[in-house]
Amino acid sequence: MNQLGTINFHDTHIGAWEEKQPDAFVDSGVFERFRSLLARLRDHRGFCIRQDQSVAKSIRHAYYVGRKGDLEFYAQAGGRMFQIEFFQNINVEHRAGGRYDYGKFTRMPRTMQLACAVELSHVLRKLIEMGYDLNGTRQGITSPDLLSVLRHAQGRTDEGDPLMQFNRSWNFPGDWERGGRFERDESGWPTMKSVGCGSTKDRDGRPMVSGEMMYCRHKGRLFRGVARPAPNGNWVLVSNGNAIYVPTRELFRCEDPSTEPRRFVPGQRARVRSELEKVLMANQYQRVEALARVARALEARSQ
């Protein structure tokens, strides 16, 4: 199938853009494909759809609104593109309604988020069937639920496989045919030389070794995984199907993890001392005893 154009996916907004500017709106297939998408949502997904009565009658054929329960959408077509955006009017901040709010997905109740994710995936798959390209479209997608939508629409099968996810992120189209972007070792991961690691020593100045068990602090918690080289001076720590990218200077070896606090909160000692002073002034002696135990534990960990 010839590629018609590209897909833009941001929050609950999906747009399909044609590669070439049509000579005239009515001469292009944009409007027909737009109507085909609406038909899919009406006939197969159960949406009630009608023309937007708030726009001039002469152009209503290109503006539509839809609703399924409390989940709504607004769709329009014009020039070389058409687009659709889902929203709700339950948790609303903008005085004109949920359609104009920022962060539409995060404002939705959890059950509606799941329903919206399903509909987004159906829209994306319909556009892919038509011939639009979704590869590489990730801008603005920060919610794990929306990342799952993208993976489902792409038919991806790399869940729980950090190496496949790495290859998808770092190998350009055609790289596999040319043998891959990076030189690989026997594990399939890139060699240190091929990714150009900026630093080859860990936090304590010891040489890094690919495949060795290393530790780091991830969101304050102790994280352990097998270290593999990655571009931009980072390493990938792989653990139980999960992978995080970590700067070399944050990696360290640990002979006895039980000696490391499971959670590290920056500035915690100073905050405990400050809280102790407050409860002493208020004569809250039971609270003093509890904070004293925390302070002693922090002092012991630092020694």
Q: How far apart are CA 22 and CA 16, in angstroms?
A: 14
pLDDT at residue 177 in the model: 43
- Residue 253 near residue 202 (C-beta atoms within 8 A): yes
* 18-26 average pLDDT score: 56
Q: What is the rounded distance in angstroms from the CA atom of residue 71 to the CA atom of residue 33?
A: 23
Band of pLDDT at residue 221, cut at 50, 70 and 90: confident
Report the C-alpha gap between 161 and 82 in whole angstroms.
35
Question: Taking Cα atoms as reference points, which of 258, 225, 219, 221 lies closest to residue 239?
Answer: 225
Distances (CA, A) of 245 to 4, 148, 171, 235, 248: 35, 20, 17, 6, 9
Selection from 212, 188, 191 nearest residue 202 by Cα:
212
Q: What percent of the chain has pLDDT over 70?
A: 75
93: CB partners within 8 A, 6+ apart:
101, 107
Contact 53, 60 (CB under 8 A): yes
- DSSP alpha helix (H) spans, the chain: 30-43, 104-107, 110-130, 144-154, 162-170, 192-195, 268-281, 285-302
Quick one: which of 182, 246, 254 has its CA closest to 213?
Answer: 254
pLDDT band per the 50, 70, 90 thresholds, residue 239: confident
pLDDT in tens, 116-134: 988 998 999 899 889 888 7
133: its two tokens: 């390209």
CATH of domain 181-259: 2.30.30.1060
pTM (global) more than 0.75: no
Q: Which residue do the tokens 């990730």 mark? A: 138
- Distance, in Å, from the CA atom of 115 to the CA atom of 181, rounded to the nearest integer, reads 38
Any bridge partners for residue 229, and if so which? 235
| Burial class for 263, CB neighbours closer than 10 Å (0-12, 13-18, 19+) | exposed
For 29, residues 6+ apart whose C-beta sits below 8 A from its C-beta are none
User: With bands split at pLDDT 50, 70 and 90, how would you rate the model's confidence at 140?
Assistant: very low
Please give the pLDDT value at position 157. 57
Q: Length of the chain, please? A: 303
Q: How far is CA 59 from CA 53, 65, 74, in A?
A: 10, 14, 15
The token pair at 186 is 């026997």
- Tokens representing 96 are 């004109």
pLDDT of residue 23 exceeding 60, the answer is no
Is pLDDT of 98 > 50? yes
Least confident of 68-72, 84-88, 152-156, 170-174: 170-174
DSSP 275-299: HHHHHHHTT-HHHHHHHHHHHHHHH
